[in-house]
Amino acid sequence: DAGITQSPRHKVTETGTPVTLRCHQTENHRYMYWYRQDPGHGLRLIHYSYGVKDTDKGEVSDGYSVSRSKTEDFLLTLESATSSQTSVYFCAIRLSGREQNEQFFGPGTRLTVL
Amino acid sequence: EDQVTQSPEALRLQEGESSSLNCSYTVSGLRGLFWYRQDPGKGPEFLFTLYSAGEEKEKERLKATLTKKESFLHITAPKPEDSATYLCAVWWGGATNKLIFGTGTLLAVQP
């Protein structure tokens, strides 16, 4: 499982509250990614990181921010949660090695915004 | 527009009944194509990477192939434990390894 954990695994919150999801890896991978998965849309990239303090936007980044102050942790923050952000969130890492380009995914966080 | 389309959306097979899942793409500058398996309530599990047309990869009852416009995941003599959603993703993002995912094929194999 590439040593990826996500916390919390489930969360219910109310509209307008801030929410932070954590992705933790144990193997010093450089690249980390946050996706959301919704019925009919597949997995969509929110933000990604290519090193400590180096992050960039994906295709659905509005309403989300990220931070990476340590190699092992990549945080996703919803500053003010909305019902449209109800989703399953997956973190992924990319293996660091020659000819290794696969992304490996964490177990996911199910977020419900009421 | 870069797009990845998977078909069929759902497939029901009898145990032992072989079939194929399709992943077609309209992405310029394809760098690779990935297949994943996803079980309910879990994260996608990596299966294969294909880099160039004509390439094939096999693992147990699964075989993935790639052409210039599409990829197939062939399932030979499936078992109930092969039931899952199968996702394909296209790599287009250069060094940052950004992927475009299809919406998946839900496979159900009945005993």
Residue boundaries of the structural domains of chain A: 4-96
Q: Which of B84, B83, B52 is nearest to B66 (CA)?
A: B52
pLDDT at B79 exceeding the cut of 90: yes
CATH code of residue B10: 2.60.40.10
For domain A4-96, give the CATH number. 2.60.40.10
Does residue A101 sit at the B interface (CB-CB below 8 Å)?
yes
pLDDT at B2: 75
The number of domains in chain B is 1
Chain-wide mean pLDDT for chain B?
93
pLDDT at B30 exceeding the cut of 90: no
Residue A3 banded pLDDT, cuts 50, 70, 90: confident
Residue B16 banded pLDDT, cuts 50, 70, 90: very high
Contact across the interface for B43 and A106, Cβ inside 8 Å: yes
A42, A90, A102: residue with CB nearest B49: A102
Work out the minimum CA distance from A105 to partner chain B, whole angstroms: 6
Tell me whether strands A19-25 and B4-7 are parallel, antiparallel or unpaired: unpaired
The whole domain housing B62 covers 4-110
pLDDT at A72: 96
A-chain CB neighbours of B88 within 8 Å are none
B-chain CB neighbours of A56 within 8 Å are 96
How many CB atoms lie under 10 A from the CB of residue B15? 13
